[in-house]
Amino acid sequence: MSRAGEAGPAAAITRAGLAMFYDRLTEAHGPQHWWPHQDAAHPRFEIFIGAVLTQHTAWTNVERAIATLLEAGPLTAEALLANDDLAGCIRQAGPHRVKAERLRALCRWFVEAGGFEALDTWSTADLCTALRDVRGIGPETADVIALYAFDRPRFVADAYAFRILERYGWWTGRTRRYETLRLRVEDQAPAGWRAADYDETHALIVEHAKRVCHKRRPACDDCVLLTGCAQHGL
């Protein structure tokens, strides 16, 4: 066994281990019920917007930007494409001009693809591949949209997931390979796992990273994952 803080070979993710991981986080933090919405009339497309705006930005800033967008009109692809001050509306969500161009590209793709009526018939693989081909939409953003807007079972291997799974011993190495970690987790998903289970897993990981497993000075004494944590050698 590696000593605390040392990087050894990654431990194998197992179905039993993943189920226990999920159960412990659920017991600690309770149901998360993601995705949070502000526009009850267009909750699915709001996910598209939030997935882009949250890139490298705190969620509180995203909420403010979405509230400003709502003041300008409904959260639809057509409304965003017609908004002459889209960048100004999302100013609070970081690099607003870049994100405005990404949102426009995503809106154009969505409309040209036929909207939800057509996209709901696509396979998950085709949907995620097409999303990744949209300017500014990487693997993580594509999977977030597929999971939350289309109810497709995808593990979101974001920075929070890497932080926790590295410390837990399920990932090692200097390079974080998104697809490798996603597939490792999905390959060992407990029997019967659906999109809702991946939804909760992602939300619980984010909550645990924010409340306990901080980037610096993690609150290890309060961590429900401490037993079995490779970083502490327990």
Which pLDDT does position 3 carry in this prediction?
36
Residue 136 is which amino acid? G
Ordered by where they begin, the domains of the chain are 15-33+155-222 (1.10.1670.10), 43-150 (1.10.340.30)
Q: Is the pLDDT of residue 136 over 50?
A: yes
What distance in Å separates the CA atoms of residue 97 and residue 101, rounded to the nearest whole number?
6
Residues 6+ apart with CB under 8 A from 53: 61, 62, 65, 66, 90, 93, 94, 99, 103
Q: Confidence class of residue 233 from pLDDT cuts 50, 70 and 90?
A: low
What distance in Å separates the CA atoms of residue 162 and residue 182, rounded to the nearest whole number?
10
Under 8 Å between Cβ of 213 and 163: yes
Which pLDDT does position 4 carry in this prediction?
38
Which pLDDT does position 2 carry in this prediction?
37
For 189-221, the pLDDT digits (tens) are 999 999 999 999 999 999 999 999 999 999 999
**Average pLDDT value for the chain:** 92
Residues 6+ apart with CB under 8 A from 209: 160, 163, 164, 215
Which pLDDT does position 10 carry in this prediction?
79
Q: Is the pLDDT of residue 121 over 60?
A: yes
Which pLDDT does position 72 carry in this prediction?
94
- DSSP result, 139-155: HHHHHHHHHHHH-----
For 77-104, the pLDDT digits (tens) are 999 999 999 999 999 999 999 999 999 9
Q: Is the pLDDT of residue 9 over 90?
A: no
Which pLDDT does position 230 carry in this prediction?
77
Which pLDDT does position 173 carry in this prediction?
85
Which pLDDT does position 7 carry in this prediction?
46
Which pLDDT does position 203 carry in this prediction?
96
Which pLDDT does position 231 carry in this prediction?
73
